Amino acid sequence: MSQVTLTASTSRPQGTRNSRRLRSAGSIPAVVYGGGVTALPVAVNAKEFRTAVSGEQGLNQLIELQADGQTFTVLAREIQRHPVRGTVAHVDFQVVDPNKPVVAEVPVHLIGDAVEVRHADYEVDQQLFSIAVSARPSDIPTHINVDISPLKPGGSIRVEEVPMPAGVSPAGDPHIAVVTSRAGRAAKTSGQGADAAKA
């Protein structure tokens, strides 16, 4: 995974009123933490931050944060947004070691065709839209493909059954269902849903 560079200022004034002024001027108040670093208040340019996390990796993009002579390798973690406008109001940057695993949420992409589910007038029901994984920052995938082709009526595909890329492992409960199937309207009407459940 490529790394992007983001410039930050460590001289931002504290307080709610000052944070509002920063945002009005096009900056985002933020804090750098972790990796043995004492929590460090910083400010980053809002446009530059949006550009940094607008690629395929999204918030899992590895960032080299240059802050007044100091350089930190970080991931953008807690993002606070304005409740009405939806703009980013605050960012927590977590310092990471590029050579050590971190936990990240990765989007799920469903691929394939659940033929048996479709023929039984069942519906595919996606339970998870992201999976928590453990990987080195450079190994965090942009997404995880979940093939629904083997899915059967009344069945499910769990996290433990999803193939992971090299260097990536599940970080949460492996028994949680990513995808299930449920009786559609036609199946319920014909009674197939009850028959599949019994099977």
Last residue of a domain, one of 96, 131, 160: 96
The whole-number pLDDT of residue 21 equals: 82
Last residue of a domain, one of 56, 78, 96: 96
48 and 122 in a single domain? The answer is no
Residue 137: DSSP 8-state: G
The whole-number pLDDT of residue 81 equals: 86
Sheet architecture: strand order including 122-126: 122-126, 177-183, 156-158
Whether 199 is covered by a domain: the verdict is no
138 and 72 in a single domain? The answer is no
Q: φ and ψ at 47, to 5 degrees? A: -65, -45
For the chain (199 residues), the mean pLDDT of every run of 10, in chain order, is 84 74 87 89 93 90 91 92 83 94 95 95 95 95 96 96 95 96 71 51
Q: Check which CATH number belongs to the domain holding 20 and give it.
A: 2.40.240.10
The whole-number pLDDT of residue 74 equals: 95
Q: What distance in Å separates the CA atoms of residue 25 and residue 12, rounded to the nearest whole number?
A: 12
Last residue of a domain, one of 66, 96, 126: 96
76 and 152 in a single domain? The answer is no
Whether 29 is covered by a domain: the verdict is yes
Q: What angle do CA 179, 180, 184 make, to 5 degrees?
A: 130
Whether 198 is covered by a domain: the verdict is no
86 and 146 in a single domain? The answer is no
Q: Positive or negative, the Cα torsion across 112, 116, 118, 122? A: negative
Helices (H), the chain: 16-24, 46-52, 115-119, 185-190, 192-198
The whole-number pLDDT of residue 199 equals: 47
How many domains, in total, are found in the chain?
2
Q: Which domain holds residue 62?
A: 3-96
145 and 183 in a single domain? The answer is yes
Whether 90 is covered by a domain: the verdict is yes
Residues near 25 by beta carbon (within 8 Å), at least 6 away in sequence = none
Q: What distance in Å separates the CA atoms of residue 98 and residue 31, rounded to the nearest whole number?
A: 20
76 and 128 in a single domain? The answer is no
The whole-number pLDDT of residue 1 equals: 58
- Could you give the 3-state DSSP secondary structure of residue 114? coil
